[in-house]
A and B are shown apart, each in its own frame.
Chain A
Amino acid sequence: MTTMMNRPASAPGHSAGKKGLIERLNIVTAFALGTVSAVVVWQLALKFMPENAETAFFFNREDKIMLLSLIAWFVGFMTGIGALIGPFRWAMGKDLNHDENMFLAGKDQGLKRYFRYTTDHKVVGIQYLVTTIIIFFVGGTLAMLIRTNLGHATGGWLQPQTYNAVVGWHGIIMIVATIIMVTGPFGNFIMPIMIGARDMAFPRLNALSFWLIVAAIPPVFISFFTGGITTGWTAYNPLASQSALGMNGYIAFICIFAISTMVAGANITTTVIKMRAKGMTWTRTPIFIYGVVASVALALPAFPVFFLSQIMSGMDRAFATSFYDTAHGGSGWLYENLFWIMGHPEVYVILIPAVAALMEMAPVFTRRPLFSFKLAVIGIAGISGLSILVWAHHMYMSGWAPLLNAPFMLTTELISIPTGMLFLVLIGTLWRGRLWMTMPLMSIFALLWNFMIGGITGIYLSDVPADAFLHGSMYVTAHFHYTLMGAGLTGAIASLVYWFPKMTGRMFDKKLSWVSFWLVQIGFNIAFMGMFLVGLAGQPRRVESYAEVFSKGNLITTMGAYTIMAGMLVLLHGVIVSWRSGVKAPMNPWQAKTLEWTVPNPIPLENFDVLPVVTSDPYGYGKAKS
């Protein structure tokens, strides 16, 4: 909770030469306290929980012990990083004083501030960026394991259960990475400056949302060594209730991540509504801001449902409740409904900010105004609104409510209309523009191509008769990779190159950005076109070996995947090299008109000496000469 400084308060235990508690806590104390808490609870649970207490079908003593240990880890970690100091100091009536607030903001701490509960939005943005890159690296490595195994029809490189675990792990890790890839780094670092604010509305909640993600990672990592997530990323019940202990890691991971998303959603939305610069009316607010707000506003009501579905999953495992156990009055359809009520809006939570980021770049690199700003806003709002009415198209083949198939088919296909508006805005902006051929601009073309394929193939899946044939096949896998990776990740990588100068003070290496772009895009289209082919031919997804007839398509896909990997490694190399020794960036290398380019490099702690007053829209580049 934000506190006022209208009365002095002293930091307990803080005097000259002696460090206060707030200064002692960092990532090391967090991991130490989290680990100690987990081990202590684990040992106590082993000792005091009777071994003969297994009285019901699903009940599992080990599940209970593991979930308790993971909760202890979570509480210990958040205590160790300092997340509880604020609330307890509030309750004690001893609000943080000026020095403590400055310390929390990371003033004069150099690199150490990145390993603490730092509240400065720029630090949080960089923390998100590095974390996202690490998560993508892990998820990408798992993808290569999958594709290597599928390079040959008989598989065999991985054991079937290990293969299932790798697929599940890859799925959930990549979903989380794509959810945070734009709103995390750029929503935190760039957005407040873009609207002319000095920080987020709730700086401590901002730090909380990031450190919750860090706290969520070890449970999913541990899951790999306790049987894995063998259900795929959807973790359907009652399959999940009957799976190995690793599912508990998945449950803890999702619950913690969902809290992080809710906190970030409230924070970002409040910041945009309440802290825009004077004169920044809604029509003068950059389109990227709309994308970020739409994304987090969608997540705000959607993720609690996901959270609840996992709480119930954990209760079924640990307490033998019967939410999803049909034999005892539960229902697998209940899980599917709860999961997809979150699961489909989540696709747009990923896509909208990435597309909005590219819409933000389009005027910059075409030197002309965004074509039909209002249409872009209507498109974003339309997608957001419709996305909560389409979830059951994932359940056509499950047998749930067949009478509802037609209405859900209609709502799903209606989404094409606002999506088409976004295409129109991008094409209209590019049309007869003076194109400045940079990697971010080429990413717009790549997005149009990839998203068109992802979108059109999605229409077939929304159609009940076609879905009866395509459901559960590699076609589905190719389709959602075209949307989430081909469109979403393309937008995120373009955002990285575009805002890299402002975030790091260095230009991204031009040559490496181009090499990476072409390798990734060519590899991507080879990989997933091959996957469409085998999917249409009937190859099911989530199989570790397949009939010989699918060999050629799979080999093509694997070759494409290796090309993507090469491109991604070049990109990673580019990030490291450019960050360390890239050309120093001028204040506004792209001659863009949004507010983040008006602050110097490095950006001062409070962003602006004097808060800006906005007098025009951010896309006043004039008309292009034809």
Chain B
Amino acid sequence: MSVETHAHHEHPDVVGSRNRLGLILILVADIAMALSVLFVFFYLKGQNVNNMWLPAATEDTPATLALSSKGTWYVTTLAALGLLTHFYGLKGVRAKNQTQLVLGGGLALLFSAIALVYQFIQVSGAPFTATSGAYASCYFLIAGLNTLHLVLTVFIALGNWNRSRLGVYKSDHWHVDIVNIWWIWMTISSLLGAFALSFA
């Protein structure tokens, strides 16, 4: 029964409302983790234990310098563009305009993929390694969380675009509404990371 039962006995709006709440609750967990990451960043920065937040140069190793936060803001901007284009698609499906939905979803997919690639380039090109003190550790943690979010977003955006293309959302579109909630959180999460890294 389960899923099938719901489909036969319940209105799509009821199912959509339930799914929306479920996603929001899962996001509560993700938000708790993202806030914990920020706590880790500012706690270790504030403590600066043994002056090793950004270690000074030694005979063997050069000083660790904080990375410019410009790159992380670029990733956030790409995420925000993805959100905007997805919202454009959502507005389309609400107005029964399937072409706008497919276009918006496709562009959102494109922006999420570019953001992911850019994030990867940025991490792999960092001028320090994971062993370069507490700041470097936090940088990789924040970048790692954002990369994970982006990977999930690419998958969701791909599925969403594909389903739009196949015309699945002609009769109801609560999936697209829910995907939009994810986009909003993913963008905010990216913004929080960029914000933290601006205070290195």
Residues of chain A touching chain B, judged by Cβ–Cβ distance below 8 Å, are: 1-7, 55-56, 59, 87, 90-93, 95-96, 98, 101-102, 104-105, 107, 119-120, 198-205, 262-263, 265-267, 269-270, 273-275, 300-305, 307-308, 311-312, 315, 319-323, 326-331, 334, 337-338, 341, 605-606
Contact = CB atoms under 8 A, between A and B. Distances in A.
Contacts of A338: 36, 40
Contact of A120 (B1, B40, B175): B1
Contacts of A2: 3, 6, 15, 18-19
Q: A-B pairs with the 9 shortest C-beta distances?
A: A329-B52, A329-B134, A91-B159, A203-B2, A321-B137, A266-B25, A304-B33, A5-B7, A101-B4
Interface of B: 1-9, 12, 15, 17-19, 21-22, 25-26, 28-33, 36-37, 40, 43-44, 47-53, 55, 130-131, 133-137, 140-141, 155, 158-159, 162-163, 165-166, 168, 171-172, 175
Contacts of B19: 1-2, 202
A267 B2 CA distance: 13
Contact of A275 (B18, B26, B44, B163): B18
Contact of A323 (B7, B40, B131): B40
9 contacts: A6-B171, A93-B166, A203-B2, A266-B25, A266-B28, A315-B140, A330-B49, A605-B1, A606-B5
A108 B117 CA distance: 47
B15 A304 contact: no
Contact of A262 (B3, B26, B158): B26
A321 B29 contact: no
A96 B28 contact: no
Contacts of B49: 326, 329-331
Contact of A91 (B36, B141, B162): B162
B133 A328 contact: yes
B32 A312 contact: no
Nearest to A200: B2
B131 A55 contact: yes
B92 to A, nearest CB: 18
Given A91-B155, A301-B32, A308-B40, A102 B130 contact: no
A350 B99 CA distance: 51
A263 B3 CA distance: 17
Contacts of A204: 2-3
A205 B133 CA distance: 39
Given A55-B131, A266-B29, A330 B44 contact: yes
Given A5-B8, A6-B7, A93 B163 contact: yes
A334 B40 contact: yes
Contacts of B15: 2, 4
A3 B115 CA distance: 29
A273 B21 contact: yes
Contacts of B33: 304-305, 307-308
Contacts of A93: 159, 162-163, 165-166, 168
Nearest to A9: B168
Contacts of A311: 141
A287 B39 CA distance: 36
B17 A303 contact: no
A323 B137 contact: yes
A50 B48 CA distance: 33
Contacts of B2: 101, 104-105, 119-120, 198-200, 203-204
A254 to B, nearest CB: 14
Given A91-B158, A315-B137, A334 B43 contact: yes
Contacts of A323: 40, 44, 134, 137, 141
A605 B5 CA distance: 11
Nearest to A296: B25
Contacts of A320: 130-131
B43 A326 contact: no
A267 B28 CA distance: 13
Given A96-B3, A322-B133, 20 more contacts: A1-B19, A1-B175, A2-B15, A2-B18, A4-B12, A101-B2, A198-B9, A199-B2, A263-B26, A265-B25, A266-B26, A302-B32, A304-B29, A315-B137, A315-B141, A321-B136, A326-B50, A329-B137, A334-B40, A334-B43
Contact of A308 (B25, B37, B52, B55): B37
Among B12, B21, B155, residue most surrounded by chain A Cβ atoms (within 10 Å): B21
A161 B110 CA distance: 54
A110 to B, nearest CB: 17
